[in-house]
Structure 1
Amino acid sequence: MATASTPQPCTDPLRLRRRLGVQGAGFALLLLSAFAAAVYWGIAGERQEDLRAEARQLAATAASQLPLISHEFSEEGNARKFRNDREVLDLGDRRAQRVRWFDSRARLLQQEGPLPMPAAAGPRQRPHWQSWSGGLSLWQPVYTRQRSAGVGPPQLAGYVQVGLSDRAAAAELERLRRGLLLGGIAAVIVALVVGRRMLRQAFQPLQQQVQALERFTADTSHELRHPLTLLRTLVASGNPQQVPLLRRIDALAAQMGQLLDDLLFLARQEQGVSEGAVPLGGWCRFDLLELLDDLLTAYGPEAAQRGLRLQLEAPVGLQEMPLRGQPEQLQRLFTNLLLNAIRFSPPGGLVRLRPQLLAGHWRVELIDQGPGIAACNSERVFERFWREAPAQSGHSGLGLPIARAIARRHGGDVVVAAAEPGWCVLAVELPAVFTTF
């Protein structure tokens, strides 16, 4: 039964601080990008509107000169004799403008300005805007009224076409883009530096407390080992008449010693140090399938005493499960899960181990017929000392937390895949290593 692994919460203050810093920088970058885009498009729209207003004004000025140009053109009688020896309009920047005058049949009468401008797309009875790479043009029809009539519909006198270069606006927008980009980069860097410093100051007390708690747990577990060992030695050499009491004391001392060992192991795992101080580079490759088979063989008699059966359900054709890690720790992981299933399964039940390969990960499901786990407790069972019922005894509540710590140490996880009354599935996922032994 495939289920999604639960996201692993970040409990390391240093990693949490880094994660918050990256998230804060990303949020600041998102806000700055939105602000820069709004500023840029706002200014670009204003520059475009300014260019259109200038084109309208130039078109109105050119339209006022159309009757004069038409009159001169009609007097010449031939367009080839009509010379452009004087300026009709006083164009401020001739390189950035161009004006064309047309008669009512869209024949070119006169033009001024050297700005390259595409030809008009035929006569249009309404104003028409045209953009091209390097400028903007406006085609404007010109209407007049007969002075003698004074009334009546206006008559089409001709057309004017004006063009303006947008290079100045484009250069300004380019400078704006560079400024926004450099300003955004500088703002993100400043936000990262300031945010990192603030997070460091804010997390420093928390990090000190966590480190102090981890040291306390490790030191306490280590220091209590000696008196427990001494107590068990005294029990072994005690009065034979007090054997029942001494055996009880010895059992309690052994249980307390195991509890301290578990606490010390968890503390070392949280500090990133594996038991036995074996570095990551010293891990070995081994066959997980063989380890599981050995575990079932070792705990088969104990399960049989409780009326249980242990079964390994490997897929057909699966002969080995290559894995890289520490066999002792992984043996402890599956031992904790197996003993937990044996402890809570009713007599006559069946405990199954089902290994399989899923998306480059080995997935081992441990299926028992115990009381199950409530959905609301699917994560709480991995908390230290947690028990579903306070009256439960015989175990410390550290087995599943240790199993999850070992799995995560190996790049995997342990989750409750399914749990119902009379049925529970714990899934262990570990990265597979496809090598030849």
Structure 2
Amino acid sequence: MTKALFLAHTAAPSGAELATLRLLSALRELGRAEVTAIFTEDGPMVERMRARGIETRVQRSGFDSRAMTIGSGPLRLLAGFLALLRLGWAIGATAKRLHAEVLVAESSKALVMGAVAARRAGIPLVWQVHDRIAVDYFGRVPTLVLQALGRLVAHGYIANSKTTLATLRTGRRPAIVAYPGVELHADAAAHRADQRVPEETVVAVVGRLSPWKGQDVLLRATAATAVRPHRIFLIGGTFFDEEPYRAELEQLARDLALPVTFTGHVEDPNPHLHDADILVHCSVLPEPFGQVVVEGMHAGCAVIATGPGGPAEIVEHGVSGLLVRGGDEKQLTAALDTLIADRALRTRVSAAGRVRAEHFDIGASAHTVADFLDTLTRRTGAAGHPNPTERTPPVERTPPVERNPHV
């Protein structure tokens, strides 16, 4: 059983960190790996990890993760980079004390720290990539730097979708796709009420309030529907200095006279999902995966999602949901009109969605990751050098889904 150290630069409860929590919980329950989580700051994720019995450590430092955000100036980026290197050296000592056999970096910042830590500990480094490493998200120079850094220091890659994997330059390094599986509960359908009549339809959007998540597109698209929903829930808080966007959305909702409820951050969105008729995923940039799409399907919502990107790997267009092009208000309005007007269609789509969601159980992803880590540690020596006699693990494949030609 492989002893794996998972490194995260933030303890905030965002999508990547919650996906890591589910993965480590499943690995521990399956007995497929001995896992330890290490954070470079204290925060909610530390408490959540420990509440699930996962060994969790905090490597305290004066590093401010915001020092290396997109758009930071060169001096601030340099200072942040040097801080990451120093912190990585300390984490390497911790990895040695824990006798870790592999280090898994959970972000681009963790990759920088992990490169130093893995080198000091003499163990292989895996980059678990939760974001598309692409120009439209990071910008041209950071994208090239991250792609090159991955090629230079990572011994293997775990991508959260085929969409994400396609943005990496893995070369001959082993790489797999392991979807950020969700925790599926057998009694989820018991909490689901029947789909409502058109005039009483409830629409939900789950995700942090951020311009690239497209909540403004959803509001404008909804204002143009033939039958407006009875209620729209925007479920999610603001992070990373995005509070002004929420104020813009509140003003837009007032201007359009839409019945919008802003819930702020919620620990568990499932009660809202069980009450909603339609879940809309409306990102304007390609989503790396789209965990909330699976969660909405499993909760029995009729789902509308945007592509291209990870959601197109989840949704079977016209069967388990509808796909529209990201940022296209007219397509989104048409999809909303289709589902709002047809209660029977919503019922059929939601039923198919529940079945499709079963393909993304966290247990399957945990087996995939455990196999990959076991193989990688066998392929590498004490200093993380590949053994050429071992074969590279194949990329995981999933059943094809029907694509929307408009995406």
Shorter-chain TM-score bucket reads under 0.3
Structure with more contact order per residue of length (Cα contacts < 8 Å, sep ≥ 6): 2
Higher-Rg member (1/2): 1
| TM-score, normalised via structure 2 length | 0.24
Structure with the bigger percentage of helix: 1
